[in-house]
A and B are shown apart, each in its own frame.
Chain A
Amino acid sequence: MAELRTAEELLEITGRLLGAKLLDSSTAAGDLSILVPAQDIRSVLLTLRDSEETQLNLMSSMTAVDYAPQEPRFELVYEMYSVDLHDRVRVRCRLDDTGSESELPRVDSMANDFAAANWHEREVYDLFGINFVGHPEQRRILLPEQWDGHPLRRDYPFDGKPAWKLGATVAEPEARFDILES
């Protein structure tokens, strides 16, 4: 078995490949984590996939983090893995909230390049409300199609009655009782 490359070595390689697109990086706990601009996320992931030096060809996980009230609010996290070299790189990008509920933050979809991204992005759309431009079938995956709101956002209530406020299509308890009787 070949020796695994350290996070520092990987950082040197990715820094050379990405140039100015590499905004920030961390090598905490031996894992390389890099921050890139949101508009370049597709080109960065494709560069890392197609380069002979990195070969990060497997998207093992993809998710979002809501840092509200910090700005920019959302962070997308792509866990990239190399099947042949066994390296792991975490690619992150930050997205601003649009400030309106009808208009969701937008980012390029990776679903046409990595089949794995299809369901991951549907999950992020479902739970965080982030619009993936170019996704073949962007619809909710875990929650019912008529659900209102995006539960993993920090401002979505955790429990109690206010949760129904966001789910505006669900009637108040009394109204539901009326429906049952009629």
Chain B
Amino acid sequence: MSMDLQNMTIEQNEPGKLMTINMGPQHPSTHGVLRLVLELDGERVMKCTPHIGYLHTGIEKLSEHHNYTQNITHYCRMDYLAPMNNELAYCLAVEKLIGGEIPARASYIRVIMHEISRCMSHLLWIATHALDIGASTAFMYGTAEREKLLDIYEFVGGQRMMTSYIRIGGCKSDVPEGFDEMVRGWAEGFGKEIDRLHGLLTKNPIWLERTKGIGPMSRERTISYGLMGALLRAVGVRQDLRKDRPYCRYEEFDFDIPVEQEGDVYARYLVRMEEFYQSRRIVLQALDKLKETEPETHMWELREFTPPKRADIYKDIERNIHHFKYWTEGIKPPAGEAYASIESGKGELGFYVVSDGSAKPVRVKVRGASFVNLAALPEMCEGELIADVVAVIGAIDIVLGEVDR
């Protein structure tokens, strides 16, 4: 038993003394298995100590014992609210090691799925964030809209989660017929759905009371904590990896970076809400660009690092051998190190991969956005009321699978 639990005695309820209580790991608004030890003076939080690791599955250790292709399946399971983001970041890192050009079509498919994943992450964020604060209507609209995106996921990758669709060198397969209509159909109504969420919350006096001025953070402290994504944009920094260090041909797309100045829960809310519209803009542009590309060019040309097409395996012995070698031995990127990061819904999601030239990586470090962002929670909620802790956790937008890895 840890020290803070041993100190939890009834005598602490005397006036003038701090009361220590345990919030989580089963508390519904800690979004999984986060445990906070709160020291309270009445309703006010004087000290907050997060305890994480309840969902630790040793993914980084596992990565060292599986080959590069197998590893993709581990990473879908980290941020399970937007699995393709994880796959994309990992594949970009390995592709950096190998060095090779990704075809335009694969990049555009990736952009569409990346933006859809960001929307999925954001939709669950607004749904649960609003529910935690007490607005249960937004939860219904948020999850209903997310269901449409999960349908697109299933249509493209075969599953609602854990798709392993994005592979090293491109995508597992080309998008199925009817993909364009399906995504356009979703995008058509999406703007109105977000308008509706705006209508429910943005000027709602209760929502303003619960979010404005809560959990503020200065620009200097935000940068010192290494927070990125909506948390950084909410303190007036115009920073977005898609614009600043473009990957997947993001430099070809036209979109804006929303920025707010206050740095409180409400500012983070506004930033993320605006990102919905921007994601929709990018998806529509990418669909147009996708039409101009050659079908079935969803994988790069590097034969050594690409599995042969299924139909070709039975035609000649070379492809047959290659098929077995690819799936049993795995690919062997050249020795070296590479770091690639993407702007996931929660912030910067980075993968640091070290290779020694063999089929298994020496080390894979996952820079989980949730892990870094959660570190700032004590500073955000100390001095606030206990009810605001829930609002601050919601605004940080964590997923414990990524925190604990």
Contact = CB atoms under 8 A, between A and B. Distances in A.
A18 interface: no
B338 A29 contact: yes
Interface stretch (A6-14, A38-46, A58-66, A165-173): A58-66
B249 interface: no
Nearest to B98: A29
A4 B64 CA distance: 33
Interface in B34-66: 52-53, 56, 58, 60-61, 64-65
Given A114-B224, A119-B371, A142-B53, A61 B338 contact: no
Contacts of A65: 354, 362-363
Dominant secondary structure of chain B at its interface with chain A? mixed
Nearest to B232: A83
A144 B363 contact: no
Interface string A59-101: 1110101110000000001010001001010100000000000
Contacts of B97: 29
Contacts of A90: 337, 339
Interface residues of B, number: 45
A151 interface: yes
Contacts of A152: 60-61, 363
Interface stretch (B74-82, B237-245, B384-392): B237-245
A25 B139 CA distance: 50
A63 B352 contact: yes
Contacts of A88: 245, 339
Nearest to A158: B65
B61 A118 contact: no
Nearest to A159: B65
Contact of A29 (B53, B99, B223, B226): B99
A63 B56 contact: no
Interface of B: 2, 52-53, 56, 58, 60-61, 64-65, 96-97, 99, 221, 223-226, 228, 232, 237, 239, 243-245, 336-339, 341, 348, 350, 352, 354, 362-363, 365, 367, 371-372, 374-376, 379, 404-405
Given A151-B58, A158-B61, 20 more contacts: A28-B337, A29-B96, A29-B336, A33-B337, A58-B226, A60-B367, A61-B339, A61-B365, A61-B367, A63-B363, A77-B352, A79-B367, A83-B237, A86-B239, A114-B226, A115-B221, A116-B372, A116-B375, A127-B60, A152-B363
19 contacts: A1-B243, A1-B244, A29-B99, A31-B339, A58-B223, A60-B226, A60-B341, A61-B365, A65-B354, A65-B363, A83-B223, A86-B245, A90-B339, A119-B371, A120-B372, A142-B404, A151-B61, A152-B363, A158-B65
Interface of A: 1, 4, 28-29, 31, 33, 57-61, 63, 65-67, 77, 79, 83, 86, 88, 90, 114-116, 118-120, 127, 140-145, 151-152, 156, 158
